[in-house]
Structure 1
Amino acid sequence: MHKSNRNRLRGAVALIAVTCLAAPLAACTVSVEVPKPGTDMSKFLDEMTIPELQRAMDEDKLDAVGLTQAYLDRIEELNPRLHAIVQTNPDALDLARESDERRRSHESRGPLDGIPVLLKENMDTADEQTTTAGSTALSGSTPAQDAFLVQKLRDAGAIILGKTNLSEWSNFYSSRQIPGWSAIGGQTRNPYDLERNPCGSSSGAAVAAATALATVTIGTDTDGSITCPAASASTVGIKPTLGTVSRSGVIPITSKHDSPGPIARTVTDAAITLQVIAGVDDADGDSVDGGLPEDLDEMLEQNALRGARIGVWREGHEGMDDEADDAFDMSVEVIRGMGAEVVEGADLADIGSLLQTDLLPAVLTEFKHDLNGYLASTPGDHPRDLTELIAYNQENADIELPRPLEQDYLLMADETDGDLDDPEYRAHRARLTEWAQESVDDVLREHDLDAIITLSDLPALPLEGGEHPPFQSSTRNTSVAGYPHITVPTGFTKSGLPLGISFIGTRLSDASLISYAYAYEQATGARRAPSL
């Protein structure tokens, strides 16, 4: 145990829901009694996992139409306070009826058949829904086809329930953005405290998962945009290895970082969904086989941490919040108690020195190149490139640029030539990738580690006026490297704000990280639903 934190462990017990520590390797998931037909489903939505829902539908104890309607009712009830959902799919109930017909004919398509899923509103759907990245500039956009991952969901029988709010343009819009705000959807609220920051940019996806507005949601992550909001909402968020999930049909920031992934209330549901949306896509130049096993049980292993060497990364967050430190200390002790060999001092180097010199110049160039490509190829009445988008925002500043917002990131990106063959750009990107990958791999190799754990983030700040002390992001190294990063609930502050613990590894270590996260989740049962 880290010496500086020994004296706080006694108080930490109140901060972390270690409800199953008496038998730390026993499953904490409680089987939920399935409601009888005609029963109000709303109270069951928070607790039932995908396998439980599938079993209930197979046994005719509920159907996809009833499940979908229950989520639509929940959205109608809660979303006016949360602003997590920007639209529901007018075809959702028809899709549910088709799923029920398949099940009656014993033609189920797989583990997500009949399961309602929400998409972040930057994912193309060739239906009556819009795809705007939160901007009114894309209200007239009409994508010609589903994003690759959306088609994978449809092929698996999932019901596309609707789309979730986000930080406009996935938080690459203004240096003064408040996470979770968009002109289309307004301000997403943290369900554990409506006046607290929901983090971003996949704010709506995380809030929707936390409040059971769908069984599972899909976000995107460029630098913490899945893991930060997931941790802030006491949910599981998986940012997979770059290219494991295709970015085709997803409004981009940069193909060198962007990674779609699931957000869910349990590791089980997140892992099942990742299995479905992962896959090699010839249209995505960085697409890879993520190496996920076909057998889900290979990842959902309660004893996965026994004998594993787990490094502890404290530098950059320790000493900034006593309650967060207490919860993290307890997490380390839980992992040690589960039979892992815990190795202190597995701290990753800070990327801050490269932020202005390499990271921002590279991402600005990539953003212009990638966004211009998306806008030019997407049908509909909307700006055709970044220059036209900037002009639109200026003409509609009352909607798109309310104070204190400015579009400084868009302006800086438009000043670049967007040329990915430019030698100066290529030098920036090469330095970034090499440095970030070495920052993770060198620590793993030096200490002979299977994975690294760290605090996902500090407790959520107030929506306006709050500032964290200088905090080294737990996401930037893995984002720039293209490596996987998984957050799982670990506890709460005394005021009820969620905290998460992150599992980090090298390229294509996704399956191992999922198994560690699952084992930890099962031993702690740390998540609890928001009171609203």
Structure 2
Amino acid sequence: MRSPLAAPPRVPVGHPTNHAGIEPCSDLDLDAVTIPRLAARLAAGTLTSVELTRAYLARIDEVDRKVRSVVAVNPDAPRQAAESDRRRAGGQARGPMDGIPVLLKDNIDTRMGATAGSRALGVPPCEDAELVRRLCAAGAVVLGKTNLSEWGNFRSLWSTSGWSGVGGQTNNPHVLDRNPCGSSSGSAAAVAASLAQVAVGTETDGSIVSPAGHTGIVGFKPTLGRISGEGIVPISSRQDTAGPMARHVVDAAILMSVLEGRGFDYTAASATDALPGARVGVWRLAGFSAEVDRIVESVVEVLRYHGATVVEVELPYQEEIRANELPALVTEFKHDLEAYLKTRPGVPRTVRELIEFNAADPVELGRFGQDLLFEAEKAPPVTDPTYREQRRTATTLARRSIDGVLAAHHLDVIMAPTNGAAWRTDYDGDPVGLDSARPAAVAGYPNATVPAGFAGPLPIGMSFMAGHGADAKVLRFTAAFEQVAPVRRAPAYLPTLP
């Protein structure tokens, strides 16, 4: 099988070979349509994958000059779409993702490139990541790569989300001078702006759910290990995972089934109404902002109205988890990144070589420094007893914080606000956020966010999390909430707040 990205190299957005001037499908609302509806039209012959792909490429040309979320388009995408149409015409469609356009975060290996936002990784990988091969096998059309916070937001404690040396600054499509949050900022902003049907992001600690919440889309971080991490630029194999980002929960469930590649149908598993008779723990994180408190209370009222019992909870051990997580990640970053770099010809091989590259580059240190790279350079090995105790403490307490609360109150899921209103991008570092993603991220447990309300024009998401392997349950509650409270709306691309 031909790799989906085996042909020509990445084409930067704005390149003359882009698809400017292509008319989108006039009768198709890209913001509202779901994969099942697209699959039905493709099967009925009232839409082709070529037409759908052209429509999304046209939106990238038209809209992304404001958002700056797509760093490269895949010149092979039209061929992939045409092959999908031929399969379908011959009765050989590969499932609901066949012919559906998807964008990939640019830390995922493809033969057209994978930079992690760094100009140091300009030489493309030799092979596609395992998850890309699964997308290819499912017939998906890979449109291109999305910008990210450079090195997954793990170059500096003072970094700015959504900025990379490769892609510059990605903007929040709801209010363009506001930040999309990181590090899957480009994937989130692109999906919110309807530049692809779905996208793949990655998360170490909040980097799927946080940008999804800030841009008003669905983001799902699965249980650690459900999706192969092979061929993804790492921070830590103890926390990293890819996951789906979509405008609709059903699309996230379909994409998750493909990315996992084990034959489990998350769409069917999340189809039943989860709310009547359910017990939902509400971790309010009260006091972060009046807007967040108001939206949490409105969600609680919706849950109760639809038959759920709401239990007020607090998740313990958060300070201890935070104190141990960062030093553990620094050690893992050095170990895992250097192992990954050895698989990439023509790029720096060590953290020291990355530091030297950045120091000599005219762009890389223009916005913030590389203090975390300096910390990683001197980090102990993964055999170090202090490191091993830090990792054990962080992971054990994160799991205990969720498992203990679930068990003590006989809960199905725990709900918490995903984010506050997006901040103005100012290159003074990111402000302190809600941190509701940390327990599930460090534990390796599933966590999904869904739009829940707005602070003015800026989206606020609500997260649902549960224990190890409860991915289908988390998606089921997310889908149930989306059905009874469909608050998501298309971005307005406001230049700034009134």
Q: Same fold (TM over 0.5)?
A: yes
The match for 2:341 among 375, 380, 383 is: 375
1:362 aligns with 2:325: no
Q: How does 1:243-262 map to 2 (within 5 A)?
A: 243-262=225-244
The answer to whether the Cα contact below 8 Å between 1:190 and 1:233 also exists between their aligned partners in 2 is yes
1:54 aligns with 2:39: yes
Q: Is the alpha carbon distance of 1:295 and 1:238 closer, same or farther for their aligned partners in structure 2, counting shifts above 3 Å?
A: closer
The match for 1:443 among 389, 398, 405 is: 405
The answer to whether the Cα contact below 8 Å between 1:41 and 1:67 also exists between their aligned partners in 2 is no
The answer to whether the Cα contact below 8 Å between 1:320 and 1:469 also exists between their aligned partners in 2 is no
In structure 1, C-alpha distance between the alignment counterparts of 2:290 and 2:350, rounded to whole Å: 47
Q: Is the alpha carbon distance of 1:506 and 1:99 closer, same or farther for their aligned partners in structure 2, counting shifts above 3 Å?
A: same
The answer to whether the Cα contact below 8 Å between 2:31 and 2:194 also exists between their aligned partners in 1 is yes
> How far is 1:424 from its partner?
2.2
How many corresponding residue pairs? 471
1:298 aligns with 2:263: no
Q: Is the alpha carbon distance of 1:353 and 1:160 closer, same or farther for their aligned partners in structure 2, counting shifts above 3 Å?
A: same
The match for 1:180 among 146, 155, 162 is: 162
1:308 aligns with 2:278: yes
The match for 1:163 among 120, 135, 145 is: 145
Q: Is the alpha carbon distance of 1:365 and 1:467 closer, same or farther for their aligned partners in structure 2, counting shifts above 3 Å?
A: closer
1:364 partner letter = V
Higher mean alpha-carbon deviation, 381-390 vs 217-226, is at: 381-390
In structure 1, C-alpha distance between the alignment counterparts of 2:443 and 2:424, rounded to whole Å: 31
1:321 aligns with 2:289: yes
Q: Is the alpha carbon distance of 1:187 and 1:323 closer, same or farther for their aligned partners in structure 2, counting shifts above 3 Å?
A: same
Match of 2:375 in 1: 412
Deviation sequence 1:5-64 (CA, Å, 0-9, x none) = xxxxxxxxxxxxxxxxxxxxxxxxxxxxxxxxx973485211110011111011110101
The answer to whether the Cα contact below 8 Å between 2:160 and 2:430 also exists between their aligned partners in 1 is no
Identity of aligned residues (%): 46
2:137 partner letter = D
1:522 partner letter = Q
The match for 1:139 among 122, 144, 148 is: 122
In structure 2, C-alpha distance between the alignment counterparts of 1:190 and 1:487, rounded to whole Å: 17
1:352 aligns with 2:286: no
Match of 1:482 in 2: 444
Q: Is the alpha carbon distance of 1:146 and 1:45 closer, same or farther for their aligned partners in structure 2, counting shifts above 3 Å?
A: same
Match of 2:176 in 1: 194
Match of 1:425 in 2: 387
Q: Is the alpha carbon distance of 1:39 and 1:244 closer, same or farther for their aligned partners in structure 2, counting shifts above 3 Å?
A: closer
Match of 1:391 in 2: 356
Q: Name the SS for the 2:342 alignment partner.
A: helix
> How far is 1:355 from its partner?
3.1
The answer to whether the Cα contact below 8 Å between 1:240 and 1:510 also exists between their aligned partners in 2 is yes
> How far is 1:332 from its partner?
0.7
| TM-score (ref. length: structure 2) | 0.92
Q: Is the alpha carbon distance of 1:468 and 1:76 closer, same or farther for their aligned partners in structure 2, counting shifts above 3 Å?
A: closer
Structure 1: tracts of 5 or more residues without a match: 1-37, 281-291
> How far is 1:174 from its partner?
1.2
> How far is 1:387 from its partner?
1.2
Deviation sequence 1:491-518 (CA, Å, 0-9, x none) = 111x211011110111111101111110
1:95 aligns with 2:80: yes
In structure 2, C-alpha distance between the alignment counterparts of 1:150 and 1:387, rounded to whole Å: 30
Match of 1:518 in 2: 479
Q: How does 1:97-136 map to 2 (within 5 A)?
A: 97-126=82-111, 129-136=112-119
Match of 1:401 in 2: 365
The answer to whether the Cα contact below 8 Å between 1:350 and 1:472 also exists between their aligned partners in 2 is no
The match for 1:75 among 60, 80, 98 is: 60
The answer to whether the Cα contact below 8 Å between 1:359 and 1:428 also exists between their aligned partners in 2 is yes
1:224 aligns with 2:216: no
The answer to whether the Cα contact below 8 Å between 2:421 and 2:458 also exists between their aligned partners in 1 is yes
In structure 2, C-alpha distance between the alignment counterparts of 1:224 and 1:217, rounded to whole Å: 16
In structure 1, C-alpha distance between the alignment counterparts of 2:150 and 2:473, rounded to whole Å: 33
Deviation sequence 1:36-94 (CA, Å, 0-9, x none) = xx973485211110011111011110101110011000000011111100000010001
In structure 2, C-alpha distance between the alignment counterparts of 1:234 and 1:190, rounded to whole Å: 10
2:301 partner letter = E
In structure 2, C-alpha distance between the alignment counterparts of 1:498 and 1:514, rounded to whole Å: 20
1:340 aligns with 2:308: yes
The answer to whether the Cα contact below 8 Å between 1:42 and 1:74 also exists between their aligned partners in 2 is no
The answer to whether the Cα contact below 8 Å between 1:42 and 1:71 also exists between their aligned partners in 2 is no
Match of 1:63 in 2: 48
Q: Is the alpha carbon distance of 1:509 and 1:354 closer, same or farther for their aligned partners in structure 2, counting shifts above 3 Å?
A: closer
Match of 1:271 in 2: 253
In structure 2, C-alpha distance between the alignment counterparts of 1:88 and 1:116, rounded to whole Å: 11
| TM-score (ref. length: structure 1) | 0.86
Q: Name the SS for the 1:400 alignment partner.
A: coil
Q: Is the alpha carbon distance of 1:200 and 1:468 closer, same or farther for their aligned partners in structure 2, counting shifts above 3 Å?
A: closer
2:364 partner letter = E
The answer to whether the Cα contact below 8 Å between 2:162 and 2:185 also exists between their aligned partners in 1 is yes
In structure 1, C-alpha distance between the alignment counterparts of 2:358 and 2:428, rounded to whole Å: 28
Deviation sequence 1:218-249 (CA, Å, 0-9, x none) = 00011100001000111000000001111100
The answer to whether the Cα contact below 8 Å between 1:459 and 1:497 also exists between their aligned partners in 2 is yes
Match of 2:15 in 1: none
In structure 1, C-alpha distance between the alignment counterparts of 2:431 and 2:216, rounded to whole Å: 22
Deviation sequence 1:298-352 (CA, Å, 0-9, x none) = 3122x211111101112xx3122112111110001101111111111x1112523
Structure 2: tracts of 5 or more residues without a match: 1-22, 494-498
Q: Name the SS for the 1:107 alignment partner.
A: coil
Cα-Cα RMSD: 1.7
The answer to whether the Cα contact below 8 Å between 1:41 and 1:70 also exists between their aligned partners in 2 is no
1:137 partner letter = A
Match of 1:31 in 2: none
In structure 1, C-alpha distance between the alignment counterparts of 2:433 and 2:97, rounded to whole Å: 38
